[in-house]
Amino acid sequence: MISYGPVKELVGGAIIALILGGLMFRSRYFHNLPIWTFMSFAAFIAIVSGLVKPNDVEDYVNWNVILFLIGVFNIGALAEESGLLEYVTYYVVYKVRDRVRLIIVLTIVLGVMAAIVVNDAVAAMGSLIIVPLAKVIGVDPELAILMLAFAVTIGSTMTPLGNPQNMLIAVSSGVQAPLSTFVIYLAVPTVVNLAVTGYILAKIYGVKGGPVKLPYRIPEEAIRNRRDALLAVLSLLVIIVALTVNDLLELMRKPAITEIGIIPFTVAAATFILSSDPRETVRRVNWGNTFLHSDVHSYGWRLELRHTYIPLQVPAARRREPT
């Protein structure tokens, strides 16, 4: 860990206060500013104040994190743009006809999608279709919004692909076989929590069992681009299989990829030439989230918190010490 002098510690505290204050008051006073602008301005202060030396800036950038985010977000954007996520949602509605069971199953399905595709894409898609869908099947739209919010939040914890926080843990904590470890320990409790959440929401809002009115759109109509939808499915499968195989190689102490961010990035890079509109796919990526979480990782990696803590115990081959 780096030990800063009093002045630099003061500057570091001011940077954290700027970030937290900006995020807290953004909705009231700074609503026109994207979240990532606060992180960028904090980086500016860190450099001009001398907290970070200009020649050391490259050391603060974790390309493994950035490549992982870019790859996963691009595949998620492709799945959203093609209509694949909407197709899965409508397919569930057509298969599950009971209203209470539908709430529970939809909560589970949205959560699992968030774990595989990345929660941002599922939240963006779900916010557009879940309210009209709720009105069609005869449930309170407020219930639908809460169901989506809880589903993407709970479900995304199940894998490193689900949200950037999990990804940071997977690539930086030194945990062995990150994808397998996440799934082994979190799959069952996550699915159970999703099912219980759906049931509780249905009870709170007084949803009665009974057949639902089917939406006016059949699942196949949700697909806007079949080629891109198929490409998104294949890309997700390749990423999951590649991460799983890499986990197995690591557990068997065979040569494996330690910088796993290159896996989703490489798969995403191969999809652009095959997709129908690469510019639209890139445009739909939440670049602000990419910058935000990569910056958060950089600050968290470098700032020293003065309290007693127990370091994470990881195998020596996987342990990374900050410089």
Give per-residue pLDDT as tens, 143-153.
999 999 999 99
The CA radius of gyration of the chain, in Å to the nearest whole number, is: 22
Nearest one of 235, 118, 257 to 178, comparing CA atoms: 257
At residue 292, the pLDDT reads 54
More confident residue, 100 or 57: 100
Nearest one of 117, 76, 110 to 91, comparing CA atoms: 110
- Stated pTM of the model: 0.72
At residue 145, the pLDDT reads 92
Say how far apart CA 187 and CA 203 lie, in whole Å: 25
Q: What are the tens digits of pLDDT across the range 183-224?
A: 999 999 999 999 999 999 999 999 888 888 777 678 888 899
Say how far apart CA 151 and CA 299 lie, in whole Å: 29
CB 69 within 8 A of CB 60: no
CB 260 within 8 A of CB 178: yes
Say how far apart CA 141 and CA 90 lie, in whole Å: 16
> CA angle at residue 289 from 286 to 295, to 5 degrees?
145
**What secondary structure does DSSP assign to 200-250, as a single string?**
HHHHHTTPPPSBPPPPSS-GGGG-S-HHHHHHHHHHHHHHHHHHHHHHHHH
Question: Which pLDDT band, with edges at 50, 70 and 90, does 323 fall under?
Answer: very low
